[in-house]
Amino acid sequence: MPLGFGLEAHPAGSDDDGDSDSGGGAASLSSNDGGSSGPGLGRRRRKRRCRLVESVEVSVTSSDQSLNLETRESYSLEVAESAAMIQANSVYGALRGMETLAQLARRRELRCAPAAVGAGSGDGGGGEPGGSGEAGAGEGGGCTAEGRLVPPEAVWPADEEEDEGDWAAAADVDRHRRKKKRHSTVLLIEETSIYDAPRFRYRGLLLDTARHFLPVSVIKTHLDAMTMVKMNCLHWHITDDESFPWQLEEIPELSERGAFAPEAVYTAADIKEVVEYARFRGIRVIPELDTPGHTQSWGKSFPSLLTECFNTNGESTGRLGPINPARNESYGFMWRLLREAARHFPDPYLHLGGDEVDHECWRSNPEVQEFMSAKGFGSNFAKLEGYWMEQLVHLAATAGKGPIVWQEAFDQGDHLPAYARVQVWKWWKDSAQQERAAAVEAAASAGSGGDKGAAALSRSGEGQGWQGLSAAQRRMMEAEQAAAQQAEQQQRRQGASCDPGRGCAATAEDEAWKDELATITKAGYDAILSAPWYLNLGCYATQDWQKYYAADPHDFKGSMEQRDHVLGGEACAWGEFIDAVNSVNRVWPRAAAVAERLWSPADVTDVQDAAVRLADVRCRMLSRGVAAQSMGPGFCPGELTTRM
């Protein structure tokens, strides 16, 4: 039977007081409520007849199929008479329009007048086999859905399903008595006209495959869910301290010793499969190779790549710290790694990490200390970290990729190029953020704040150094630096779990990321927000999605030009307690609240309305095999067939 949409017609002079979906804004979660009861409900009304949508026409004006930040995802959708028409500038805009069309269609049970019984059997109009005729459309009555006459060719016939049970243990039970009857159904969609476009260009989801390995099938399920809510960026945190699951062609030793198990790896074919699967759904794949910290799994194959730690007596502790930036071999190693990443991931950007670098091991290592002295860094390890990131950015550019970095690379004053993008993840403030904010404000006051390069902003103390200072001045600066280091260590002890994967308790969390966005954009950099959207921190049996829904990336003090630098945001699902078993269930449908915030207009903020849409998107996900968790009491038909 051909797919049919029951289309509500509005003939001239009809007594129509039902709802119609204007489609304005077309939020990524579309409400599929039925009609309403208006004035004159008690009057006798003639039934309106549905029409069959016989075709879906798609028109795309550009043949460009590249996926990047400039890809246009806008579309227009019109459902009228016997056709649905989608117009878009790109094939990806057409995909968004098709998803909206699927959202607007809703399945409804049919009810048939007694005169229609038996009329639909045989070849007469889509009734059920066997002459039950529930879906028949006889002349004497016909079938209706929501009070509308349904053309026979739009009917999906009923079927029968057997109850689940142990038939071997109940062989004497009459199987016919254990069958359930399903009603015939029809897909309904209102006449509508929509123009729709995303509010933000970057709408991402982070998946962590280093803390727990996620099979390709699970990643693809996430991609299916992402396209349902119009997300367009997969941030693949592919390696970390715990494992290195990427099977590199140039450096296979990394996964041979760094993966959890020989089978827990991603081959070149796996990478290609994920990238292509995502592209066909309008989703970019951006890998993250986090350095110089978060690289303990690398040391299992190449211990000399990492920094050897020493105690106060100058003896090796046997512990390894971050990558050793004092060795030229480290940069050659990273060039091989970035070069291969550039070959396998076509996106113009790579995420280079740069967060949570523990300076204690660097501070204890004589080789690193000698390197810092030769470079004139003194004992400022933020300068050493900045030097590493600057070299890494240069290597990525040589490989043809632009950098995305965690906010520490900006806060510590690293010389980032104008095209770098900074991801905001901290919901608390530290001394580096405050110092950087003061430096940006000073530069702006001096007239350089509008410099797009923003690299002219120097690190704290850089350019002046300690040359020419008296011994007393040096002692004072050393004391200040020691106090800053002590404060940093105290902060680490108080918030030992303050990292992108775990988070920590913090005060004024909203103000922290808002101030950070203001500082980054004032310096002229593009920003991506993720601080308020850590899905792995949510608790069972809470409505934490409402907090996600309330966070707006433009809600900070800044000019319109600054807000234009906010590319969008990203929901993060860090993997300490998320694995292949609960990954999909943990993320969805909660991430859909973030997706709506990033797609829909700023004035779409009603939580109660959003709750209806969230419940609907969960049901649609179940119907497509995505095991989204329940957000409260209710029922979806897909619950009976979808399994984790």
Strand spans (E) along 362-503: 402-406, 421-424
Taking CA atoms, 190 is separated from 18, 82, 95, 513, in Å, by 10, 12, 20, 42
CA neighbor of 74 nearest in space, from 183, 179, 194: 194
Q: Find the angle CA(375)-CA(398)-CA(298) to the nearest 5 degrees.
A: 70
Q: Which of 54, 109, 191, 356 is catalytic?
A: 356
CA neighbor of 3 nearest in space, from 242, 169, 186: 186
Kind plus residue range of the DSSP H or E element containing 394: helix 381-398
For 182, list phi and psi in degrees, rounded to 5.
Answer: -110, 145
One-letter amino acid for residue 505 of the chain: A
CA neighbor of 235 nearest in space, from 402, 350, 344, 335: 350
Strand spans (E) along 372-524: 402-406, 421-424
Q: Cβ-count burial of 206 within 10 angstroms (0-12 exposed, 13-18 middle, 19+ buried)? A: buried
One-letter amino acid for residue 460 of the chain: S
Q: Cβ-count burial of 35 within 10 angstroms (0-12 exposed, 13-18 middle, 19+ buried)? A: middle
CB neighbourhood size of 490 (10 A): 10
Per DSSP, the chain holds a count of helices (H) and strands (E) of 17, 24
Whether 360 is a known active-site residue: answer no
What is the set of active-site residues?
A: 356
